[in-house]
């Protein structure tokens, strides 16, 4: 770029030394070249601005994606912690339920044993009552037979 500027200064100096007629045409050529350079620089500047804008948009999209991924990760962590807490609570409830069921089974077994003992006692009492009744009848019959003899 600096060499182009030096070249332009040299061209301008040459144009002044040639005379007014050739100077105006070379001046016009220099102005045209400057206009072309200005136009090219403007295009490059516009392209650079567009590139910067696209890069910024891309960076914003990347940041948005990172934010959404982080948010989803945090939500998943929260969900998993909640699920883990629920699992722990269920495990605790299951242990309590198992203890309660065991105690209930022991209570039922005792009630069954007591009921069986009660039934045995009732059967024994009934049987003994029948035996006494039959002995009494047997004794009465024996007495009747002795009296009749």
Q: What is the pLDDT of residue 148?
A: 84
Q: Are the beta carbons of 8 and 30 closer than 8 angstroms?
A: yes
Q: What is the pLDDT of residue 5?
A: 52
Work out how many domains the chain is built from and give that number: 1
15: part of which helix (H) or strand (E)? helix 2-18
Q: What is the pLDDT of residue 112?
A: 96
Tell me the two tokens of residue 67: 């934010």
134: part of which helix (H) or strand (E)? helix 20-148
Q: What is the pLDDT of residue 33?
A: 94
pLDDT in tens, the chain (149 residues): 445 554 455 455 454 544 444 568 889 999 999 999 999 999 999 999 999 999 999 999 999 999 999 999 999 999 999 999 999 999 999 999 999 999 999 999 999 999 999 999 999 999 999 999 999 999 999 998 888 87
20-148 and 2-18 helices, crossing angle to 10°: 160
Range of the domain at 38: 2-148
């Amino acid at each position: 770029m600096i060499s182009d500027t030096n070249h332009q200064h040299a061209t301008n100096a040459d144009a002044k030394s040639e005379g007014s007629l050739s100077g105006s045409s070379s001046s016009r050529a220099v102005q045209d070249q400057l206009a072309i350079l200005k136009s090219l620089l403007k295009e490059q500047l516009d392209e650079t601005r567009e590139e910067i804008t696209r890069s910024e948009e891309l960076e914003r999209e990347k940041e948005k994606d990172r934010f959404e991924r982080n948010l989803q990760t945090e939500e998943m962590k929260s969900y998993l912690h909640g699920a883990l807490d629920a699992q722990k609570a269920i495990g605790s409830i299951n242990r309590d339920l198992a203890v309660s069921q065991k105690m209930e089974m022991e209570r039922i077994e005792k009630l069954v044993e007591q009921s069986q003992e009660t039934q045995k006692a009732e059967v024994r009492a009934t049987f003994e009552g029948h035996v006494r009744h039959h002995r009494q009848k047997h004794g009465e019959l024996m007495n009747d037979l002795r009296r009749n003899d």
